[in-house]
Chains A and B, each alone.
Chain A
């Protein structure tokens, strides 16, 4: 899709034709994706769509079988030091060392990151109400996520990567996570990439979105383009129809008799012209939520 603001700076993430299989299962299939510097990039897909596998390639935890992965212009497998130190990462499992106390976890993580900001770390610990002396093992699920978020944020990374940050968390902790994403990009030039299947959250915070399904990227565009280019129209025909008459760009359709509702990709004017061309009147026309767009894309 055409980018109205081609950036002079190279992308933070540049993935080209990446494929990966685990035994028989094709986890990623010819994935190309660029994440521009600045802003929030939302990677959306259902369970097992390939989100985590993609993220593991960014962090150099998996080596590409086919294709290339570059992050800050570097290969993360060959340059773990040059890349990992600039990334803050919160995994879906929030795999933290269980035996440590929160204070120890902070000191331990600090050792890996020259840019660690002590006062920011303390500020976050205070805001998240984390006890320095509590063992990681004893933390509730929400507090564990907050601890993971703290160590991902406290070195003020250029790129914050969050894999399903909200999954299984209560609304209060989810607010903290969204707040952290917003604070991160409010600082000039920093970038957030997060994967999620909670689409209302993605719609709130993402500038750009990629939909991944069965290891393939189905769609990547700015949130605005995605919203503009999908509509739900209800058409009324002069005679009853047994099947929904074909409409250009249809992703899904439901209805009966005189009236049929279509979820379509295409801009408003195009759709109205197309409806006219098949002899129908538009009786209802609405923009879609990201959730509805995602579902119709996946099912089509």
Chain B
């Protein structure tokens, strides 16, 4: 559970924790049913106030992304998957918006952007195939 806190950009720390845990779940690095680090452990690891971590976990719990089980521990919800999908779309949308803005600044037309995306996809796929072939040898 890798989380990185920055105090330079003004985003409240609890929100940084919430966003990064959402990201970890959406990207599959925290699977449904996985246990989050205990509040004190994460607080000591990140060197932030335990109340801040507790606040972040509460937000995630209210959003149904994680759940408390009995008294011990906080776990990624089993029904977290549709939410994770929505979160994935949201993350991608932000990236796409940034890409489109950049393309527009550079004067690249949408058609060309689409072509480039497909080229990159093909190139990445062929690298992957080569790698897995090599691994099999």
Give residues in A with beta carbon < 8 Å to B.
Answer: 39-40, 175, 178-179, 182-183, 185-186, 199-200, 203-207, 224, 227, 232, 286-292
Q: How far is the CA of A22 from the CA of B31 in the complex (A)?
A: 62
Q: How far is the CA of A290 from the CA of B44 in the complex (A)?
A: 21
Q: How far is the CA of A251 from the CA of B71 in the complex (A)?
A: 46
In this complex, which of A40, A204, A288 has the most chain B Cβ atoms within 10 angstroms of its Cβ? A204
Query: Interface digits, B42-57 against A, CB 8 Å rule (1 contact, 0 not)?
Result: 0110111111000000
Q: How far is the CA of A183 from the CA of B39 in the complex (A)?
A: 12
Q: For residue A179, which residues in chain B have a CB less than 8 angstroms away from its CB?
A: 44, 47
Q: A186-B40, A204-B5 are in contact. Are A178 and B10 (CB under 8 A)?
A: no
User: Contact: B47 with A39, CB < 8 Å?
Assistant: no
User: Contact: B12 with A200, CB < 8 Å?
Assistant: no
Q: For residue B10, which residues in chain A have a CB less than 8 angstroms away from its CB?
A: 227, 232, 286-289, 292
User: Contact: A204 with B51, CB < 8 Å?
Assistant: no
Of A175, A183, A224, A232, the residue contacting B12 (CB under 8 A) is A224
Q: In B2-38, which residues have CB < 8 Å from any A CB?
A: 5, 7-13
Query: Which residue on A lies nearest to B43, using beta carbons?
Result: A182
Looking at the assembled complex, report how far the CB atom of A226 sits from the nearest CB atom of chain B, in whole angstroms: 10
Q: A203-B13, A204-B13 are in contact. Are A182 and B47 (CB under 8 A)?
A: yes
- List of 9 A-B pairs having minimum Cβ-Cβ separation, nearest first: A287-B10, A200-B7, A178-B47, A203-B7, A204-B48, A288-B10, A186-B40, A205-B49, A289-B10
Looking at the assembled complex, report how far the CB atom of B110 sits from the nearest CB atom of chain A, in whole angstroms: 25
Q: For residue B5, which residues in chain A have a CB less than 8 angstroms away from its CB?
A: 204
User: Contact: A175 with B49, CB < 8 Å?
Assistant: no
Query: Which residue on B lies nearest to A227, using beta carbons?
Result: B12
Query: Which residue on A lies nearest to B41, using beta carbons?
Result: A186
User: Contact: B12 with A204, CB < 8 Å?
Assistant: no
Of A182, A288, A289, A291, the residue contacting B49 (CB under 8 A) is A182
Q: From DSSP, what is the main secondary structure of chain A's interface residues?
A: helix
Q: How far is the CA of A89 from the CA of B47 in the complex (A)?
A: 21
Q: From DSSP, what is the main secondary structure of chain B's interface residues?
A: loop
Looking at the assembled complex, report how far the CB atom of A284 sits from the nearest CB atom of chain B, in whole angstroms: 12
Q: For residue A289, which residues in chain B have a CB less than 8 angstroms away from its CB?
A: 7-10
Q: For residue B8, which residues in chain A have a CB less than 8 angstroms away from its CB?
A: 200, 289, 291
User: Contact: A186 with B12, CB < 8 Å?
Assistant: no
Q: How far is the CA of A182 from the CA of B44 in the complex (A)?
A: 7
Query: Which residue on A lies nearest to B46, using beta carbons?
Result: A204
- Contact sample, A vs B, 22 pairs, CB 8 Å cutoff: A175-B47, A179-B47, A182-B40, A182-B48, A183-B44, A185-B50, A200-B8, A203-B7, A204-B7, A204-B49, A205-B47, A205-B48, A205-B49, A206-B49, A224-B12, A227-B12, A286-B10, A288-B10, A289-B7, A289-B9, A289-B10, A290-B7
Q: For residue A200, which residues in chain B have a CB less than 8 angstroms away from its CB?
A: 7-8
Known contacts A179-B47, A182-B49, A204-B49; can you find 7 more A-B pairs with CB under 8 A?
Answer: A39-B49, A182-B40, A185-B49, A186-B40, A203-B7, A204-B13, A207-B49
Q: For residue B46, which residues in chain A have a CB less than 8 angstroms away from its CB?
A: 204
Looking at the assembled complex, report how far the CB atom of A274 sits from the nearest CB atom of chain B, in whole angstroms: 20
Looking at the assembled complex, report how far the CB atom of B111 sits from the nearest CB atom of chain A, in whole angstroms: 30
Looking at the assembled complex, report how far the CB atom of B129 sits from the nearest CB atom of chain A, in whole angstroms: 44
